[in-house]
Structure 1
């Protein structure tokens, strides 16, 4: 029987997991798992520009428990109840928590691709979507059109905002654009660096007049109708 710490080690070091049974975090394995997360977290923090964040290892461990369940429900013959699955989604409240969750959620690529072929109301698929929308620093990596469900500012942390801008550039969606003007400028800069167009929601400046509505007949090139 593999321990939760062994599951976590395989995920964080090798980027893959193999399951014969559901990984369960026990009191005995908690300290070992937290130590591994501290080591991984320190490396990630070293690469993050801006003010140094605290290590939110407890948050990362909570997300890791959720991720272990996700992996298990993908391969298990049974399915979780949708309401219970969605109630289990932890929610970040600080920049450090957003960042710590990303240590785990960066590995959602394979689960997301596998779940893409399931019905849209599949409880595991909807659970993953809910998680990624609640954790937009990570969710921005994935093709989810529905907007984030938590504030999109990361406490004003410049390094996280810049990394988010680069991720959004690679997976552009209007619904994932921030409303804060300074943050939006960083998004625009990230797109400009690679000569890519902005997602539709920012094509028109805020102070630009709205486009005139189409009159009858203009969609086909006919003269507008005046009555």
Structure 2
């Protein structure tokens, strides 16, 4: 089974209060209090597709499982059977939880500044009480994402100019990621946010400061 959470879905956002001060350095190094922040970089749509394909397979297996949290069962079984395969899966998912990894990657490729993701679950290992992804869009991207979120039965909260996209189930966040992918041409047609300029250089500089790790 795939867990579902008792969450009221709504959109509590103010476009005029979105953060617009982000720089390449801030996005690369972190701009929130979330201690596990790691910039997603500049992925491409092919990586988004690959992630969503893996994610869809995990969700399919989880839905067929009789475990209360089928996703956890699938991942644990994979670790026990093939820890190398699990490591390769996490690489495709950029270290994010299945169910929100695809959305995190899709929103990053749509050129929003992602900073948080958690699939939630039935144990105490997850930070969030519901599946959610944190990001900062510009106004044009925000309006498009809000429309897609409504279609996917996902909600939006706003904190300090940042958006948290949430859902009752990772089935909905996965569906939203597919919608973002389907609208890739619309996102690509929008002017890039100012922090894109110089982001790769900042990431390369940050990587070099850690000795390439």
TM-score normalized with structure 2 length: 0.27
> Larger % of strand: which?
2
Structure number with higher helix proportion: 1
**Largest Rg, 1 or 2:** 1
| TM-score w.r.t. length of structure 1 | 0.26
